[in-house]
Amino acid sequence: MDRRDLILLIILLALTASSYLASGSPNQTVWIILAITAVKFISVAFQYMEMKHAHRFWQAALVFLLALYAVLVGFGI
């Protein structure tokens, strides 16, 4: 395992633990968990799915679709 992969694994575990802890808080829970999930998704996509080497259009499309999904789920549409 590469050093960068190990660091990302530790960060992902910390984000998972923080989303678990945030689920007990009554204020803005959905938005906090969606934001943490978005960071985790982008981290995995760019590191393991090689999106960091993809064309800028595909990178922007991925981020845009993730933001659109988060907003739709956050507002319950």
3-state secondary structure the chain: CCHHHHHHHHHHHHHHHHHHHHCCCCCCHHHHHHHHHHHHHHHHHHHHCCHHHCCHHHHHHHHHHHHHHHHHHHCCC
- Whether the model clears a pTM of 0.85, i.e. scores above it, the answer is no
Domain ranges within the chain, ordered by starting residue: 3-74
pLDDT score, position 77: 60
pLDDT in tens, 20-70: 988 887 777 888 888 899 999 999 999 888 888 999 999 999 999 999 998
